[in-house]
Structure 1
Amino acid sequence: MPMDKDPAIHDLLAWLPMREQDWSVVQPDPWEADLCAIAISRRDAPRHLVYVSTCESRAGRYYYECEAPTGTEETDYTVVDEGADVSFAELLAAMICHLSPLRPTP
């Protein structure tokens, strides 16, 4: 991750259970020019991701979109959940739900 990201993004990454959940920062960074945004995915599913932004947010508040691929192109995705002005706890709950390994349906 580029070091020039907003300090709130660095703080967020320090607080998230990246190793425990087997999450990683999506590389290459699809939002490299946006210093207040980052994409996080499961290591085994880089296109199944959560976009998080701190832009124009109060301290400790976040905007997120949970994205799922719908095709083979990078731009083929759908937003399956989103939240605005959410707390860290709300963001973490959404991330755990969205990034948990997919379970087969009975």
Structure 2
Amino acid sequence: MNWIFLVLGGLFEVGFTTCLGKAKEASGQATWMWYSGFVVCLCLSMVLLIKATQTLPLGTAYAVWTGIGAVGTVLMGIFFFKEPADFWRIFFIFTLIASIVGLKAVSSH
């Protein structure tokens, strides 16, 4: 169950970074709505990470949480913020995913 909390926490990390990107593009009241989304996603992400680390090893949990956030944020940048999707970016996204899967595979929990 704590792996589910960890994955959800990583997805909320993607949410708060996406909100930052959208806030940068917005103006007026919309900016504050995106910043509010940032705060909510940040809090949920941290609470879920804390919950996951109650039984998962801290180093593994943090690395997986950060990896999910990094991969998700890069993908959001490519799909929604028109960032480049060249060969090397895609290659390194796949190495991050392989590392996340590897950490899960060698975890004793």
> Comparing both structures, which one devotes a greater share of its residues to helix?
2
> Comparing both structures, which one devotes a greater share of its residues to strand?
1
The TM-score with structure 1 as length reference comes to: 0.29
Point out which structure has higher relative CO (alpha carbons under 8 A, 6+ apart): 2
Please identify the structure whose Cα radius of gyration is greater: 2
The TM-score with structure 2 as length reference comes to: 0.29
